[in-house]
Amino acid sequence: MPFQQVFPRSFTASSIREHAPALSGVYGITNAKEWILIGEADNIRDALITHLEEPGTPLLRHNPKGFVYEPCHPMNRRKRREQLTLEYQRSSPRRP
């Protein structure tokens, strides 16, 4: 099952602060052609801001444009991240 949120939000500080919750969950970062990263965090908003503000990382070199997220209980996060990673690997020529 793909992310519950179908359309990505803009991967900018203002969009992340406005839309990403400070909750436990999983998130995906895309550049509109491929999934760059599927991750999990105790605080989705903080994790996305950290990715955005880390200069020179491989993630930023892939020119991220959007993010999606899905709140979930901390005990379920790892399993859900693994499910999403497998699903998007099958549907994309590039692994997240």
Q: Does 95 have pLDDT greater than 60?
A: no
Pairwise CA distance, residues 58 & 69, whole Å:
20
pLDDT range class, residue 71, cuts 50, 70, 90 = very high
Q: Does 90 have pLDDT greater than 80?
A: no
Number of other residues whose CB lies within 10 A of the CB of residue 88: 19
Pairwise CA distance, residues 45 & 86, whole Å:
23
pLDDT range class, residue 92, cuts 50, 70, 90 = low
Which class is 12-90 in CATH? alpha beta
pLDDT digits (tens, 9 = 90+) for 23-62: 999 999 999 888 999 999 999 999 999 999 998 888 988 9
**Cβ-based burial of 6 (10 A; exposed 0-12, middle 13-18, buried ≥19):** exposed
Q: Does 6 have pLDDT greater than 60?
A: yes
Domain ranges for the chain:
12-90
